[in-house]
Structure 1
């Protein structure tokens, strides 16, 4: 018997709220399987199981906020240890009463019996189970076409495309009540927890909405667009609706945002801002910061990138940020004093470079999820993962590891016109790198004056771990790597 506990999803996290269960009692889970979505002060993140076994019962309800370390579910080693659990709420992930237990050895069954068929269904690798969850398909009802009856990606995709019952689905077990057609359709809609919760609040059927997100996913904007404006605000909020303020000269308001949603976003932004402020206050009090800056010569990098982009379609062209991030990851690998954690009074260097990237959220505030093993990624892989990471961060679909284990953080405000940024270190990390806008500047070289692309790079580092000599070497190494962009 093991307990799944509310994990710490960041140095500043003290509690979390369970907003969605991605499994149900009776499901067999493997290590790394996603089991729940948790709302922190920063964003909504998926958490995974650290044990393998059968989900016995939930110890907290959807909407409950509990401290880090609090048990939220029980997992047993075998189905035999299952104990009766209370009825599920309507907010749980799947309406099916039965789920695959996936024992190590197949349970004997009468040849040709429905139960025997179901016993063979539902075997799938973690990536396939993750895809099935994202598409709203129960792998336990799919008969796989892979080796040994394993469910493949193609099986999941066919199940989504098939009318009525999923293609290849196993026969229903004896006594099982089939899901209503509307129920099945609603669970095939790809959407984020935020979009599903908003749809429930506004009484919108997700299956009636055409998604505009990645792979056709329904976004919060799609849900809002499907609701007539006059039906978005409850009556009690219409009476005290404040007079509209003139648009801000800095940023125009988003169109057609309902009062209740706007208030929710404002509250979320304020909570996030308070959490960030508390952590940054702690960082400045506890970490002896020192700051360095240098101007990067980007002439070679920009010329190489422009030549490479001429051979690429628009959708796969590189941007300067990709080169800056890759150079930073490689430099962090070579100068380990910048890459790791200061905990319990000592520094622990990290063998891997998990590059935290600051991302601005739509409702305000910042998060800095990690690009894992950034030093080993090609520029194309880094670009793809960066797009995916930013999209999921803004949709509230980050995973625990992406928020909990960045080893060094980069912030790039060049797109906003900022020429230099001196960041505050995110504890327990020991360094933060800032990049400003890429500008054409006068540049003297070998007695000749010309115009070159350049950008200011800054370093905020922990004086308990390094000093100006090591910090200067780190910034110089970034500049050196950018002089040979073809080798990044």
Structure 2
């Protein structure tokens, strides 16, 4: 029997709340199949099964919050029979279980005189029925109907106002929680990881000319943004620098067998998330563009997959046209490197004894000094620049 535990989806995730099971006991599941949806401080995440098996028992109910690493289900391996018996599991609020409390029946409101008649509000039958459906207390409704009666319109207006306020409060709470978790992860990063920084200004004349010609041959739906060849160039260069592609765990570096570039994406209401473009180095640019658009849309809709959050082996942050000329990032643990791209801008450029105007970008590398040093990091940026001088090789 296999214990299916709540996976960690980044250094800034300590716990999650189960929103929904997508399977039930007895269901056969395949590797990569979505089995549950869990809410984190950043998004509702689709939890994928990491192997094949049969669901034996679901250990959580919707709404329960548990720490990372908690067993949330058990799986039977292919061919394994279910257990003959299993211990009964008490729910948190079952009678006699820890945390259960006796609840006294409600008494009269404070200050009320026992036995005194309570005046009944005038409420239209339709309004009373609608209030019951929406669980709205009639004494919270401002009446505007004839003779001071509560009308159906009063109920709908109260529901809309309460819904908007609840939505705004929930969004504010989520943003505050996200800021807290991001700050905690970055504080841990700066405290535990000995960062070093190097940067390099890279000419982009060849790459942008190639990109313009390439886009002219394709429809609007198939055109590329400059960020995509930059990301692909990072992935290809990492093949020659495996010591920048991996994680630091249990006191040592673990090189990753694949290159999964995490892409920093800003969310509409604030905050940041960096899910992975899986196998970035082996995919055509057009596919990466489609996946980046899909990833950005799902990030901002709050719907991601657990593998996209748990498997980045390095992170790239690109500030775009509205950003500053350079960005010096903070490594996202347990990764050991982060590549930053500032705003693409025209600058004076000396070449072959002459001076001209050239579109350039400043690339930076934040890396873990426990794994590499500044000379190694500088070589990576120089070779990244060389890779971008041959854009046709990015998409063979």
TM-score range, shorter-chain basis? 0.7 to 0.9
1: distance between equivalents of 2:282 and 2:211?
19
Q: Deviations over 1:307-354 (max 9, x none)?
A: 111111011111110111011111111112211111122112223111
Number of residue-to-residue matches in the alignment? 330
Q: Tell me, yes or no, if structure 1 residue 480 matches structure 2 residue 381.
A: no
Q: 1:202 and 1:26 mapped to 2: Cα distance?
A: 36
Name the counterpart of 2:91.
none
Unaligned runs of 5+ in 2: 89-132, 136-152
| TM alignment of 1:402-417, pairs within 5 A | 402-417=308-323
Corresponding position of 2:196: 290
Whether 2:360 is the aligned partner of 1:359: answer no
Residues of 2 paired with 1:484 and 1:51: CA distance?
40
For the 8 Å contact 1:26–1:79, the answer to whether it is kept is no
Structure-1 separation of matches of 2:320 and 2:209: 19
The alpha carbon displacement at 1:81 in A equals 2.9
User: Contact 2:201/2:361 (CA < 8 Å) preserved in 1?
Assistant: yes
Alignment of structure 1 residues 381-420 onto 2, 5 Å: 381-420=287-326
Question: What secondary structure, in the 3-state scheme, does the structure 2 residue paired with 1:428 have?
Answer: coil
Residues 56 and 83 in structure 1, CA contact (< 8 A), matched pair in contact too: no
Please identify which structure carries the higher strand content: 2
Higher mean Cα deviation, 421-430 or 380-389? 380-389
Quote how far apart the aligned CAs of 1:443 are.
Answer: 1.3
Q: Relative contact order (alpha carbons < 8 A, sep ≥ 6): 1 or 2 greater?
A: 2
Instruction: Please give the root-mean-square deviation of Cα atoms over the aligned residues, in Å.
Output: 2.6
Structure 1 269/415 Cα, relative in aligned 2: closer, same or farther at 3 Å? farther
Pair 476,38 (structure 1): closer, same or farther in 2 beyond 3 Å = same
The 8 Å contact of residues 134 and 159 in structure 2, kept in 1 or not, is answered as no
Q: For residue 408 of structure 1, report the CA deviation from its aligned partner.
A: 0.6
Q: Distance in 1 between matches of 2:171 and 2:362?
A: 34
Call closer, same or farther: CA 1:456–1:202 in 2, change over 3 Å.
Answer: farther
Asked whether the 8 Å contact 2:48–2:307 carries over to 1, the reply is no
Q: CA deviation at 1:33?
A: 1.6
Partners of 1:440 and 1:416 in 2: how far apart?
14
Whether contact under 8 Å (1:233, 1:260) holds in the other structure is: no
CA contact (8 A) 1:425 1:460 kept: yes
Change (3 A) 1:51 1:465: closer
Rate the CA distance shift 1:419–1:30 in 2: closer, same or farther, 3 A: same
TM-score, normalised to structure 1, is 0.63
Q: 1:39, 1:84 → 2: CA distance? A: 32
* 8 A Cα contact 2:42 2:302, kept in partner: no
Name the residue aligned to 2:223: 317
The match for 2:114 is: none
Q: Matched residues in 2 for 1:456 and 1:202: separation?
A: 56
* Map of 1:53 onto structure 2: 53
CA deviation after TM superposition for structure 1 residue 52, in Å: 3.2
- Counterparts of 1:329 and 1:420, CA distance in 2: 20
Secondary structure of the structure 2 residue equivalent to 1:334: coil
Query: In 2, Cα distance between the equivalents of 1:412 and 1:394?
Result: 17
- Distance in structure 1 (CA, Å) of the matches to 2:10 and 2:69: 13
Question: 1:441 and 2:347 equivalent?
Answer: yes
Q: What is the Cα deviation at residue 75 of structure 1?
A: 2.9
The answer to whether structure 1 residue 81 and structure 2 residue 85 are counterparts is: no
The equivalent of 1:247 in structure 2 is none
Which secondary structure does the structure 2 equivalent of 1:415 belong to? coil
Find the aligned partners of 2:134 and 2:214 in 1 and give their Cα distance. 48
TM-score between the two structures when normalised by the length of structure 2: 0.78
Larger radius of gyration: 2
What is the DSSP-based 3-state SS (H/G/I as helix, E as strand, rest coil) of the residue aligned with 1:7?
Answer: coil
1:440-481 deviations in Å (ceiling 9; x for gaps): 112121121111111111111111111111111110111101
CA separation in 2, counterparts of 1:79 and 1:285?
46
CA displacement at 1:4 relative to structure 2: 2.0
Unaligned runs of 5+ in 1: 87-200, 204-227, 239-257
1:427 to 311, 326, 333: 333
Give the match's secondary structure for 2:321.
helix
Cα drift, residue 237 of structure 1: 4.5
